[in-house]
Amino acid sequence: MPMPSRLLALLGICLLLVPASASQCFGTVSRGRIEGSVRLPISGPNFHSYSRLAAAAGRTHVHEKVAASVLAAYVALQDSAPGKHYVYGETGLAQGGRFAPHRTHQNGLSVDFFVPVLNPSGESVPLPTAISSRFGYDLEFDAQGRLDTYRIDFPALAEHLYQLHRAAQKQGIGIQQVIIERAYLPALFATPRGAYLRGQLHFMRGKPWVRHDEHYHIDFALPCRPL
């Protein structure tokens, strides 16, 4: 009997996330390092990396439990958000430490995700992340979540945050904070998952040092050793 596709996907996650030694984070996201990190896979049925070049350069490493949470969420999204396309961004270096131009991403617990978008026909399409736009980070959406012919798919974004939180809980970890353009919060909270997100996740209240309109930043929460 053929193995169900979801089971195959989960098996693939298990095979991908086998570090040489167990992941151990040190310090904080803004001053830290990591041992035994794992690299996120380049792509899956409903997601891909922002850049094969940057991934090959070692800029997509995370703690093994963060990786398991990220990938399990993508598996769940195949059922809860079929047909939606997701793109993840920068995470960190294999050993952590300073990660220019970011101020955090130092101990394997930080992940950037590019906003899911719809085209003029209302179809879910991957956000272009070309070198010419600094791999997507120079793209600028307006206060309504629009950029040229693209518009942010807030229900798909909310569903992703929901599945990430649930997947993290199953790994015995949490989400410390979510950083996203504050102008987008009303649209995010108006989605079917809005009440859950408002009650379960902490969204940064202050103003980040750069706009988070084309991507949202997540810091996962788990105990780390002192640096």
159 found inside a domain: yes
| Domain extent at residue 38 | 5-221
> How far lies 38's CA from each of 4, 129, 130, in Å?
26, 23, 25
211 occurs within a structural domain: yes
Q: Is residue 14 part of a domain?
A: yes
CATH number assigned to the domain comprising residue 99: 3.30.1380.10
Rounded CA-CA distance 201/193 in Å is 11
> pLDDT tens digits for 45-72?
999 999 999 999 999 999 999 999 999 9
> What 8-state DSSP symbol labels residue 58?
T
Q: What is the enclosing helix (H) or strand (E) of 86?
A: strand 86-88
In a domain, 227, yes or no: no
In a domain, 226, yes or no: no
If one counts every other C-beta atom within 10 angstroms of the C-beta of residue 78, the result is 17
Q: pLDDT of 71-125, one tens digit each? A: 999 999 999 999 999 999 999 999 999 999 999 999 999 999 999 999 999 999 9
User: Residue 132 domain-assigned?
Assistant: yes
Whole-number Å distance between alpha carbons of 54 and 38: 15
Q: Domain for residue 130, yes or no? A: yes
Specify the number of domains making up the chain. Answer: 1
- The pLDDT tens digits of the residues spanning 116-148 come to 999 999 999 999 999 989 888 999 999 999 999
